Structure 1
């Protein structure tokens, strides 16, 4: 059904499925089971985006999203949330489609919600970023995760322009975000690490080699993005995950931080594929339930004010758990 909302949102450029195919993008990968799995993310996000943009009834949006393969369902919800965020941006009056949807039908997928906003950021004026940033507060942890919008923004930029952000490794400038512009490039690099996993189609030998070309001060955040992709979407076998930890070297704790985020998101959404269970054991050294509990415990408010964003405090607490991470701990 074409609505006034769907017509309005087309004033903002949005990619088509053909734009997101790996062969169209010229990614250096061949078609195989793993690369097809990664490419499937694009289909799911765009499917969810179309539902969120063109269907006014949130109950109907959710009904359609529940038909999406469980492996990709949270990603489709992410796309729907992106569309609803865009609807809020384009509305002539103050609306909260995205926030209300996340508090309701989308709550199990809320840990992906800010990433959905990030996918919109490169397509709207910068002055709207913080002005229209949704406040997702359906559970205690999601309140820490607004920096995932910057991660999602970076993923979008690097996916569509890998030459600049992955090959040439351009540094992101500081931008005003949540009162900590100095942290913006770090959150951006986390999204670049995730995008790099798509650029190489889940080939983690190539991903590791590229990650280690980044400057030392950026490498930890890039490896964190790699860990998130590896745990959420999989690809590596047990032995390949061990090699990935070895390749990360001193940044193996950062790899684990990204994996914890992915494990928690999968567990909270109620669907944990085998690849996520494997990553929890090999990269994080625990069961899904244990790693999910770690993510929750790290979100406790600090006793005293700290000189870092809450999101980085959360990540720092998790990283400390993996200070002595070793190969084959699972």
Structure 2
């Protein structure tokens, strides 16, 4: 059971739920249903964060995380990833992140790595986790999480002033690529800032310099598939509106599909998003991610293996779509 000190950690370190409301954030409200969905996701994220901070052990944190409803459990693990890093940064603490990834969290590793980036956005750089000890491929998701946090909580600087520069360096490799990975997280946040409204989200993306659109659409694709909040016609409209970045959008959605399938948290929306955005079934979109995943990430190439993985997924989905259309004609 969590100790008195654990309860105190939770009280002192957990952000208030009010920070995730649409009114406080100033985000677009499409309708009451979408608003409720996005705010619920924020609440669950903070619940997972609190579980990781308060629990007396990784096993206790895991036990609590596994009680979260299956459709939103991944968001709880994302919050737990952030909480575990914050916990480990405290004097005399450690092992929470490692323990989380070694248990049931290994099925939610995509989300936990994103949560690491949330913690990086909140902690002084000397307290960041040792990134060299993490997965060389998935560690890029930490920058996705960092970008999401900045766009979500520093919306004026990262979204409403899209031409502002935000220099960033880390020790994860390929610093020339960090802006791309962060943009993927910003794109994911835009799905929340835009209230799951495809027209609003696309408008936000178009406000950024054109060379950033592909990464932003990829992030938005992940969010529209994982978080949901849009119907079939809206998703089809979003995919069509992405234009030349159609398959970057699909790549992000495929990542979301693979994350849910791996974690056993597939919902009806997973199948819908895979069919409409990826142009295939959820199972096939997930398989594309697994089949193209690099076995030995090359940290010395011109760009990280993570980017090659993303490009290969997009190319495979585009190729499969062309084959499918040809067969239908």
Q: TM-score, normalised by structure 2?
A: 0.89
| 322 and 116 in structure 1: CA distance in 2 versus 1, 3 angstrom threshold | same
* Equivalent residue, structure 1, for 2:307: 312
Q: Which moved more, 1:95-104 or 1:184-193?
A: 95-104
The answer as to 2:225 corresponding to 1:231 is yes
What is the rounded CA distance, in whole Å, between the counterparts of 2:251 and 2:26 in structure 1? 30
* Equivalent residue, structure 2, for 1:321: 316
- SS state at 1:156 partner: helix
- SS state at 1:209 partner: helix
Q: Deviations over 1:231-268 (max 9, x none)?
A: 10222222222211111000111101111110000100
* Equivalent residue, structure 1, for 2:5: 4
What is the rounded CA distance, in whole Å, between the counterparts of 1:214 and 1:134 in structure 2? 32
The answer as to 2:248 corresponding to 1:249 is no
What is the rounded CA distance, in whole Å, between the counterparts of 2:168 and 2:54 in structure 1? 35
| 134 and 108 in structure 1: CA distance in 2 versus 1, 3 angstrom threshold | farther
- Between the two proteins, the alignment pairs up a number of residues equal to 321
Q: Deviations over 1:13-53 (max 9, x none)?
A: x5210111111222231551122111211111111111111
Once the two structures are superposed, the pairs formed by residues 161-240 of structure 1 within 5 Å of their partners are: 161-169=154-162, 170-240=164-234
What is the rounded CA distance, in whole Å, between the counterparts of 1:224 and 1:311 in structure 2? 13
After the TM superposition, list the runs of 4 or more consecutive aligned residues in structure 1 that deviate by more than 6 angstroms: 302-305
The answer as to 2:99 corresponding to 1:100 is yes
Q: Which runs of 5+ in 2 are unaligned?
A: none
| 132 and 10 in structure 1: CA distance in 2 versus 1, 3 angstrom threshold | farther
Once the two structures are superposed, the pairs formed by residues 267-306 of structure 1 within 5 Å of their partners are: 267-301=261-295, 306=301
- SS state at 1:256 partner: helix
What is the rounded CA distance, in whole Å, between the counterparts of 2:297 and 2:82 in structure 1? 34
Query: What is the deviation of 1:224?
Result: 0.6
| 86 and 6 in structure 1: CA distance in 2 versus 1, 3 angstrom threshold | farther
What is the rounded CA distance, in whole Å, between the counterparts of 1:257 and 1:172 in structure 2? 25
Q: TM-score, normalised by structure 1?
A: 0.89
Relative to total residues, which structure has the larger helix share, 1 or 2? 2
Let me know the Cα RMSD of the aligned residues: 2.4
What is the rounded CA distance, in whole Å, between the counterparts of 1:186 and 1:150 in structure 2? 9
- SS state at 1:109 partner: helix
* Equivalent residue, structure 1, for 2:120: 121
Q: Deviations over 1:67-118 (max 9, x none)?
A: 211111111112122211211111436x322112211121221121111111
